[in-house]
């Protein structure tokens, strides 16, 4: 089964006295925060996480990506495409995943665009019309929707939790709840992308 995967992370703020947490930067709120990051790999068609890990907020998204994809194991899910945001824009990512038969589609990180010689992105090799690329990239933006769902509807952000183990358990329970929602929708032959509110 071939799937389109998307990767993203979301913040979990920690208590001030949590010694295992770290400082990270929230690009949406444009401020530093103390806490953790939940790094997620999604099936973008179903809007369901298929792999996750929790790290200190100081860990960059890019350093966790291979571990997330590696957890899928050989032959479990075959990725047709991997949709990433600017944080993952690197020649190494594109080339490594290309060797595994996975096409990486991501936006250019303006900082990386100046330093890299040669072409490596999909956009560099084929003329993808801007509207088509935006349509493809929308799959990655759906990860943001699922992040909000996990936080606001499924308890991921309900209260600050101390310690990385407890945050992993909390994230795992929220993700399991989402997976159950999707399974329920599939069994009802309903659209799995819709949200069950009750």
- Asked whether residue 18 is assigned to any structural domain, the reply reads yes
Range of the domain at 35: 2-187
Which stretches of the chain score pLDDT less than 70? 1-2, 73-77, 107-134, 136-137, 139-140, 195-198
CATH number at residue 98: 3.30.420.10
What is the structure's pLDDT at 83? 83
What is the structure's pLDDT at 191? 87
Name residue 5's beta-bridge partners: 43, 82
Q: Answer whether 63's CB lies under 8 Å from 198's CB.
A: no
- Asked whether residue 197 is assigned to any structural domain, the reply reads no
- Asked whether residue 195 is assigned to any structural domain, the reply reads no
What is the structure's pLDDT at 112? 52
Count how many domains the chain has: 1
What is the structure's pLDDT at 198? 45
What is the structure's pLDDT at 155? 84
What is the structure's pLDDT at 194? 73
Q: Could you give phi then psi for residue 74, rounded to 5 degrees?
A: -70, 130
Report CA-CA distances (Å) from 170 to 33, 41, 152, 160, 175. Answer: 19, 17, 13, 10, 9
- Asked whether residue 24 is assigned to any structural domain, the reply reads yes
């Amino acid at each position: 089964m071939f799937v389109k995967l998307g990767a993203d992370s979301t913040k979990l703020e920690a208590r001030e006295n949590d010694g295992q947490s770290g400082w990270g930067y929230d690009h949406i709120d444009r401020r530093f925060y103390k806490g953790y990051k939940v790094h997620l790999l999604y099936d973008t068609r179903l809007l369901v996480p298929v792999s996750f890990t929790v790290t200190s907020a100081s860990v960059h998204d890019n350093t966790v990506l291979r571990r997330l994809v590696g957890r899928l194991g050989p032959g479990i899910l075959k990725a047709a495409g991997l949709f990433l945001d600017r944080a993952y824009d690197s020649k190494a990512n594109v080339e490594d995943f290309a060797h595994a038969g996975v096409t990486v589609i991501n936006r250019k990180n303006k900082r990386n665009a100046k330093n890299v010689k040669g072409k490596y992105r999909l956009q560099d090799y084929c003329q993808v019309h801007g509207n088509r690329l935006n349509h493809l990239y929308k799959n990655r933006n759906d990860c943001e929707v699922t992040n909000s769902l996990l936080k606001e509807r499924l308890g991921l952000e309900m209260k600050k939790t101390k310690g990385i183990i407890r945050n992993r358990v909390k994230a795992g329970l929220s993700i399991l709840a989402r997976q159950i929602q999707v399974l329920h929708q599939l069994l009802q032959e309903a659209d799995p992308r819709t949200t069950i509110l009750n």
